[in-house]
Amino acid sequence: MRVAGKGLVDCSKPLRFLFDGTSYQGFEGDTLASALLANDVKMVARSFKYHRPRGIVGAGSEEAGALVTVGSGAHQDPNVRATVQEIYEGLSAQSQNRWPSLGFDILSVNDLAAPFLGAGFYYKTFMWPKAFWEKLYEPVIRRSAGIGALSGLSNADRYEKAFAFCDLLVIGSGPSGLMAALTAARAGADVILCEEDSVFGGRLNGESLEIAETSGQDWGTAAIAELSSMDNVRLMSRTSVTGAYDQGTYGALERVSHHMTQAQGKPLETFWRIVAKRAILAAGAIERPVAFRNNDRPGIMTAAAVRTYLHRYGVAPGKAVTVFANNDDAHRTAKDLVAAGVHVAGVIDTRTDAPDGQGYPVYKGAEVCDSAGRRALESVSFRYADGRVDKLQTDCLAMSGGWNPTVHLTCHMNGRPKWDGSIQSFVPTEGMVAGLEAVGACNGAFSTHAALLQGNAAALTALGDLGLKTIAQDVPDAEDAPYRLKPLWAVKGKGRAWLDFQNDVTVKDVKMAAQENFRSVEHMKRYTTQGMAPDQGKNSNVAALAVLADATGRGIPETGTTTFRPPFVPVSIASLGAGAQGKGFAPERFTTSHTASVERGAPMIEAGLWYRPSYFPATGEKTWRESCDREVGYVRNAVGVCDVSTLGKIDIQGPDAGAFLDFVYTNMFSTLKVGRTRYGLMLREDGTVMDDGTTARLGESHYVMTTTTAAAGPVMRHLEYVKQCLRPDLDVNLVSVTEQWAQFAVAGPKSRDLLNGLLDTKIDNENWPFMACGTVSALGVEGRLFRISFSGEHAYEVAVPARYGDSLFRTLTSRAEAMGGGAYGMEALNVLRIEKGFITHSEIHGRTNAFDIGMERMVSQKKDCIGKTMSERPGLTDPEREQLVGVKPIGPVKQLTAGSFLFKSEDSAVRENAQGYMTSVGFSPEFGTFIGLGFLSNGRARHGEQMLMVDHLRDVVARVEICDPVFFDPEGGRVRG
C-alpha cells in the first residue's frame, strides 16, 4: 500500500501495467516490484525446484525472489528482476515457472516430494538405467526445474556497444561514490560516475538520514546537480559495471530503453567498455537474510529493502510489519515505519542487549523459528533462549542478518577477499585490481560519515596518481553509528530453512553436502547448486559458507569463498554481440562489378568476406550447369570475362624487393626480368604450402604480388612478419592495394582481339608474350596488363584504378558478347582450372607440401627461404604420402564428389582402407563427364589404376581411373596462342 507523503515517485504521472494479465496502476519512478507491493501483490513467482511461492525479497539488482518475464513474442525477456524493471505505460509482465497459473501450479507437488529432491538428487536418483537419462529424466527435469524461458524467436531488439575513457571511474553513487566524484571532479579530473539504479544516490534514497544538517536525499540531489553541471563529468545511470579487466578496462551494461514504451530509435541495452586510469569502487553492501524454517514465504524481505520501499517509493510492504534482527541497523526499519504511520508489530532481536523500541515492542534474546501463511506471510513464531515460543500476526517480516560488502569487482582479476571478524563478513583485499580502490560499505565502512571520508580520501589518492592538483575538501558531517552485530546465520530447528531462494538450497542441503564429504566450498556449491542461480549467490553465499564451516568444524576464513567471476549482474549475450546479428556478423566486401553482376541475375556466393558471381544465367537456361557449361565454352572457344579483383594484391617496393621475394617464395624472383610475371609458391616455416600466385616485376625495385582471395590477409600479415621480425635488414616496403585496383581476367582465343579494341596501343604476340606485364592505356585510362592464365587459354588480366572498374566490366562483357563470348562466374572458373590441374586452397588446404602437389622442384636449391629447411624432412618426401592426381569416372556412375574417399577396388570402403580423397570436382563440357582432383598415396606412380570413389555422406559410389591432374592441353600450347 502507498504511504502518503513518502517516496520519490511522481504521483502526478500514473501508469497502467499488466502482471499475469491483470491491470494495475503505478507511478512514474516505480519499479515493477514497488508497484506490485503498492497493489498488495505479494506472491510473484514460483521457485526453481520445489515450485514454492516466491515474493519480493530485496529492492536491488541482487533480487533473489522476484524474477519475471517481460514482453512477448520476439521481445520476450525472461528472468527480469522486478526490482530493477521500471514500469512504463503498457508494460506487460508474467510470472515464471508455474503451470497453469501462479496460484495453482501442478508442479508444486515437487514440494511434497522434497525429501527425494535434496542436494545431489540429480546424481543419486537418476543414475539407472542409463538409457532413461536422455529419454525420460532429463526432459522431465528440464520441464519442472527451471526459470524463465526464451521465446525461441530471433531477437528483434537493437543493442549497441560503445567505448568510453576517463581519468577516474566511480562505481556507485551512494555517499562514498558521490563524495569521491565531487572531490575528483572539482580538481578537474575526467570522471565517469556509473549508477545501476535509475536515480543517483544509492542508499541515500532508501534511508532517512542527515548529511551536513540536511537530509541525505537533498545532499545527494545537490551533489548530482553540481556534477551534472561540469563538463569533465559523465553521469551514467541505469549502468551496472559488470566486470574489472586488464589495464583499467571495465565492462558496463547500460539499460537504455528497458523503461520505455517505445524505444524511440534507442537501443535496448548498450554494453560499454570503459577504460579508466583509476577507479573507485563504491558498490555498497547487500543485506543478508537469515535462514529459518519457512523463511521463503512471500512477505519476508530484507530490512533495508522495506526502508527502500518506504523512502524511495512511498510503499509499505505490509500493514503490520515485524523486524527480525541481530544488529542495530535493522531497528531503523521499525523507527522509519512508525514515523511514517505504518504499524510495526514488533522487533525480534537475537541480542539480549538490543536497543529499546520507540513506539513498538522489542522482543530481546529471541529468534524467529517459523512462519505461516497460505500464499503469503500471515504470522511468525519466535523462540526465546529458554525454549518458550511466541507468535506474532504479521504480513511482512523485515529481516537482517547483517551486511555483506559488495566485493565482487575487486575479485575479478583472481583476487580473494579477506575475512573481517568485526563485521562478520568478507572485505576487499587491497590491490587485487590495479588502480581500483574500494570505499564505503563495499569496503566494510558502514557508517555514512566513514563512507564520505573514504570516498574523499580515495579520490585524493587517485588525483595524486594522475598528477592532478588536489583541492582540500570539507567532508560533511553525517551519522557515525557503530555497527553492532551478533552473528546469526541459521536458526536451529526442524524443517527447511532457505539459504538460496532462487535455486531452492536449504541449510539441510549444505549440511548433507558436508556429510557426504563435499567439504570444499567449490564442491559444496556444485553438489547443491548453491549460488548458481541468476543472483550468483549474492544473497546467500556468505551464509552458506558459514553453515558449511559449522558443519565441517572449520572457521569461515578457512572455508574460503568460491571464485567471483564477471559479470556482476546478468548480461545479455545480445548486448555483448551487439551489431553482429544477421548481416552484422561479418562485413560484406563488394567488387566494382557487383552491381552489374547482380543486374545480370548472377547468384552471388561468399568468398571469405567477398561476394562473387556464381554464374550468369541466360534466358531459357533451367539449371546452373547449363549456364556453367556455356560460360566454359566462352573461354575455350571465344572470350570470357571474369572479375578477379578479390585476389590479394600487394605492392612491394624497395632496392631489396627482389631479395625479399626470394626469401618468402620457394623460387627466384630477383632474377625475374622487368616486364615479366612469374608463378610463385609460398611455404609456411614448417614446410607446408601457405599460398601461391603470380608476381609481376613492374620496375627494377617494384613488384606486385598476387595472393589467393582467401589468403590475402594472412599473406599480408606474413610478409610484414618476415620483413619486420626476420629481415629488418632488407630495404623494402609493402602495402596492400587489393581494393585500389579492379582487375578482370580476359580469357580465350579471342582475348587479344577484345583487348585491342580497347587499348590505345595495340599488342601482339611479340611485344606481349605469355607472362609479360606492364603499363597500358585502355580507353584513355592508365592501367596494367598481365598476360597470365588460370584457364590454360590465351588470356590476360587487365587492371584499372577501382573507380573505373564498373565501366570497364560493362564494356568488356558487352564487347565479349558481340564476339560470341561473355561474362563467366566462379563455377566456370573452377571447371576451367580443374581441366588444367591448377590448384586452389581446396588442394593447398594446410596439410600439403610442395612434394605433395608435385612442385618440389620449385623449391630452389640456390638459396634459403621460409619453409625450406623443414620441407626437406624425410617424412615430407615419403612416396607413400598422398600426392595430387586427376580422377575420372569409368563406370556407370559418372558423378564425382569432393570430400569422398578413394579405395582399392578389392577393399571394403572403410576409413582404414582409404588411399586418398577428392578435393575438387567439376563437370567438364570438353570431356562430357565429371572430372576431379584429389590426393592419393603414391599417386604419381598410379596413373591408370582403377579404384572406387566412395562418398559415405551423399551415398555415391563410382568406379574411377587415376590420371595425370592436367586433363586439358597437357603440352600447354594454347596459352601461348
Residues in 232-251 that interact with another protein by CB under 8 A = 245-249
Site membership for another protein, residue 717 (CB under 8 A): yes
Site membership for another protein, residue 101 (CB under 8 A): no
**Residue number, 25 or 414, with CB nearest to another protein:** 414
CB contact set of 58 (below 8 Å; sequence gap of 6+): 64, 65, 83, 286, 287, 301, 302, 305, 539
Site membership for another protein, residue 873 (CB under 8 A): yes
Answer whether 771's CB lies under 8 Å from 677's CB: yes
Residues in 428-447 that interact with another protein by CB under 8 A = 434
The interface mask with another protein, positions 685-704, x = CB under 8 A, is: xx------------------
φ, ψ dihedrals at 918, nearest 5°: -95, 140
Task: Please tell me whether the peptide bond between 801 and the residue prior to it is cis, using omega within 30 degrees of 0.
Answer: no
**Residue number, 578 or 755, with CB nearest to another protein:** 578
Q: How many residues appear in the chain? A: 977
Binds another protein by CB under 8 A, chosen from 259, 273, 449, 554:
273
For residue 660, the minimal CB distance to another protein (Å) is 14
Q: Kind and range of the H or E element at 675?
A: none
C-alpha to C-alpha distance for 732 and 154, rounded to whole angstroms: 50
Residues in 163-222 that interact with another protein by CB under 8 A = 163
Per-residue b or e along 399-421, where b marks 16 or more CB atoms closer than 10 Å to that residue's CB? bbbbbbbbbbbbbbeebebebee
- Axis-axis angle for helices 331-339, 303-313 (nearest 10): 30
**Residue number, 351 or 723, with CB nearest to another protein:** 723
Other CB atoms within a 10 A radius of the CB of residue 221 amount to 18
The size of the interface with another protein (CB under 8 A), counted in residues, is 27
**Residue number, 723 or 794, with CB nearest to another protein:** 723
Answer whether 244's CB lies under 8 Å from 412's CB: yes
C-alpha to C-alpha distance for 29 and 785, rounded to whole angstroms: 70
Distances (CA, A) of 794 to 90, 321, 383, 673, 790: 71, 94, 101, 21, 10
For residue 869, the minimal CB distance to another protein (Å) is 5
Q: Which stretch binds another protein (CB under 8 A): 90-98, 665-673, 794-802, 866-874?
A: 866-874
Residues in 105-164 that interact with another protein by CB under 8 A = 163
Binds another protein by CB under 8 A, chosen from 4, 225, 725, 953:
725
- Which amino acid is residue 863, in one-letter code? K
For residue 954, the minimal CB distance to another protein (Å) is 37
Q: Kind and range of the H or E element at 305?
A: helix 303-313
Binds another protein by CB under 8 A, chosen from 869, 905, 908, 946:
869
For residue 250, the minimal CB distance to another protein (Å) is 12
Site membership for another protein, residue 724 (CB under 8 A): yes
The interface mask with another protein, positions 294-323, x = CB under 8 A, is: ------------------------------
Site membership for another protein, residue 729 (CB under 8 A): yes
Site membership for another protein, residue 721 (CB under 8 A): yes
φ/ψ region of 459 (left if φ > 0, alpha if ψ in -120 to 50, else beta) reads alpha
C-alpha to C-alpha distance for 500 and 635, rounded to whole angstroms: 73
Site membership for another protein, residue 263 (CB under 8 A): no
Distances (CA, A) of 480 to 211, 424, 451, 783, 836: 11, 19, 9, 81, 88
Q: Grid coordinates standing for 80?
A: 527480469
For residue 862, the minimal CB distance to another protein (Å) is 12
**Residue number, 713 or 757, with CB nearest to another protein:** 713
**Residue number, 272 or 324, with CB nearest to another protein:** 272
The interface mask with another protein, positions 648-687, x = CB under 8 A, is: -------------------------------------xx-
Binds another protein by CB under 8 A, chosen from 588, 760, 864, 907:
864
Site membership for another protein, residue 726 (CB under 8 A): yes
Answer whether 193's CB lies under 8 Å from 200's CB: yes
- CA dihedral angle for residue 563, residue 564, residue 569, residue 573, rounded to 10 degrees: -60
Binds another protein by CB under 8 A, chosen from 870, 893, 956, 957:
870
Q: Which stretch binds another protein (CB under 8 A): 302-310, 639-647, 652-660, 717-725?
A: 717-725
C-alpha to C-alpha distance for 19 and 35, rounded to whole angstroms: 10
Binding site for another protein (CB under 8 A): 163, 245-249, 273, 275, 413-414, 434, 685-686, 717, 720-721, 723-726, 728-729, 864, 868-870, 873
